[in-house]
């Protein structure tokens, strides 16, 4: 791990960390962190601002400090660890103007630099997915639990793609984990699961709150003291009070009051009609005390007005509400994005003669045909990004006949021809 990541740091640290463009300047490099920082900051809404004044945070796999810099404004101290001493040297130089930011070189398998119960917030992004050893990742999770304070939060990302039979992993395409494995770990270590999103994808996220020892076992005999109430139900992707019975938009947000404060995903079930949905997220209370439960619907045979109930350890804790379920619309293949295949931030300006196309609602990717100015593309490489919206990344090289200048990319799925896309080839 150390040798490989030191080599990557020497070659182009920014590229291997953010995978945006070769030889980025600092402004562009830090700009690639914007979306991720916003996501991490949303987790901090779980705790009142007044209680965060003395919080200390830890980033596992901090690299050259891309996330530590913007996240440092939220904490009195922020520490980062990385197996690569080359990455840490870059981080120390880039963060030297921040007295509360401390990058550390570590052994790549433990957090032994820190005593028990040191941090209120621990996070990690695009790190565990590069570790080839499952045992090392699990050791990091044990260490995360150890260094977190009781009541502290963790926000962690894993590769949740299915494990191939006999698959071997390296320091780029690392170990994979299932949702069940993360839930089992959380139960064993008394972690309240607040989110488990992106299951079955490369970017599976979980949010945990550390509870006192013995908490998981005690929860199973506990009864809810107050009756929870469902105040409204909307589609998870809009404010409309309706959801299709299956497909990419078949998920809902349930807004509830009086949810037990220590309720986790492992304790709650939601029924829609006679079927169970999958809860993926428990939100913090808003300014009027409502909390959001995001639920992926099962593939329903029923449509119309269906009852929705929330259960706690199998016992109903809310009067039923009603959701309008409609038949799904037709699957319509669409292009989500087109970019240079290596310099992703270049967009439709093709700098390396490689193209990456992201398509959605693609049930039969092998039917895709591509051409540029009428010249067919060969050797299309497919990668399933997310099975639910049937999202695929397709990578290919420009045909040899295509030179510098403006061109038109054409895509066809079976008999369906998608709208042409203008690209600019510069090399």
CA distances from 141 to 151, 262, 350 (A): 16, 21, 40
HEC string of 385-401 equals EECCCCEEEEEEECCCC
Say if residue 165's pLDDT is above 70: no
- Cβ–Cβ under 8 Å, residues 160 and 204: yes
When pLDDT is averaged across residues 251-271 and rounded to a whole number, the result is 94
* pLDDT at residue 313 greater than cutoff 90: no
* DSSP secondary structure code for residue 418 in this structure: P
For 42-71, what is the mean pLDDT? 92
Using DSSP's 3-state secondary structure scheme, residue 142 falls into: helix
What confidence tens digit (pLDDT) does each residue in 225-251 have?
A: 678 899 999 999 999 999 999 998 999
**Two tokens, residue 289:** 């005390």
- The answer to whether the CB of 81 falls within 8 A of the CB of 111 is yes
The yes-or-no verdict on residue 221 having pLDDT over 90 is no
Q: Looking at the predicted structure, is the pLDDT value of residue 378 above 70?
A: yes
Least confident of 47-61, 141-155, 163-177, 206-220: 163-177
pLDDT in tens, 81-97: 999 999 999 999 999 99
Query: 391-397 and 381-386 as β-strands: parallel, antiparallel, unpaired?
Result: antiparallel
Q: Which residues make Cβ contacts (< 8 Å) with residue 172, sequence separation at least 6?
A: 4, 130
Q: Would you place residue 166 in the very low, low, confident or very high pLDDT band (cuts 50, 70, 90)?
A: low
CATH number of 229-326: 2.60.40.10
Domain spans, the chain: 2-217, 229-326, 334-425
- Say which CATH superfamily domain 334-425 falls into: Immunoglobulins (2.60.40.10)
Question: For 40, how many CA atoms within 13 A lie in the half-sphere containing its CB?
Answer: 25
Reported as a pLDDT band with limits 50, 70 and 90, residue 219 is confident
Mean pLDDT of 180-200: 97
334-425 shares the fold of 229-326? yes
CATH 3.40.50.620 applies to domain 2-217: no
What distance in Å separates the CA atoms of residue 264 and residue 209, rounded to the nearest whole number?
9
């Amino acid at each position: 791990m150390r040798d490989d990541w030191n080599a990557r740091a020497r070659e182009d640290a920014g590229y291997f960390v953010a995978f945006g463009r070769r030889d980025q300047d600092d402004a562009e490099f830090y700009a690639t962190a914007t979306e991720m920082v916003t996501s991490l900051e949303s987790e901090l809404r779980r705790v009142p601002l007044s209680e965060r004044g003395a919080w200390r945070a830890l980033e596992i796999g901090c690299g050259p400090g891309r996330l530590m810099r913007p996240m440092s404004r939220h904490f009195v101290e922020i520490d980062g660890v990385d197996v690569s001493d080359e990455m840490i040297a870059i981080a120390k130089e880039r963060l030297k103007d921040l007295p509360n930011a401390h990058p550390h070189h570590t052994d790549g398998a433990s957090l032994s630099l820190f005593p028990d119960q040191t941090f209120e917030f621990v996070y990690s992004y695009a790190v565990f997915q590069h570790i080839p050893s499952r045992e090392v990742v699990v050791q990091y999770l044990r260490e995360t639990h150890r260094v977190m304070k009781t009541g502290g939060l963790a926000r962690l990302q894993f590769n949740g793609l299915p494990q191939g039979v006999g698959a071997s992993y390296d320091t780029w395409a690392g170990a994979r984990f299932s949702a069940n494995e993360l839930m089992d770990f959380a139960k064993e270590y008394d972690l309240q699961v607040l989110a488990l999103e992106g299951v079955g994808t490369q970017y599976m996220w979980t949010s945990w709150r550390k509870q006192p020892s013995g908490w998981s076992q005690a929860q199973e005999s506990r009864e809810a003291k107050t009756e929870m109430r469902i105040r409204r139900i909307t589609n998870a992707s809009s404010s409309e009070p309706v959801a299709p019975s299956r497909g990419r938009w078949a998920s809902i947000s349930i807004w509830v009051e009086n949810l037990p404060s220590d309720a986790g995903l492992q304790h709650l079930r939601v029924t829609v009609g006679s079927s169970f949905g999958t809860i993926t997220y428990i939100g913090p209370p808003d300014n009027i005390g409502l909390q959001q439960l995001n639920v992926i619907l099962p593939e329903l045979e029923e449509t119309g007005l269906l009852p929705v109930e929330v259960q706690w350890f199998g016992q109903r804790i809310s009067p039923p509400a009603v959701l309008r379920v409609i038949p799904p619309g037709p699957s319509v293949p669409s292009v989500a994005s087109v970019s240079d295949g290596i310099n992703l931030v270049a967009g439709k300006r093709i700098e390396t003669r490689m193209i990456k196309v992201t398509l959605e609602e693609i049930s039969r990717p092998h039917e895709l045909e591509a051409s540029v100015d009428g010249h067919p593309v060969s050797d299309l490489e497919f990668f399933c990004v997310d099975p639910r919206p049937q999202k695929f990344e397709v990578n290919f090289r420009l045909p040899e006949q295509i030179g510098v200048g403006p061109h038109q990319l054409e895509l066809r799925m079976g008999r369906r021809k998608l709208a042409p896309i203008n690209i600019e080839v510069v090399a």
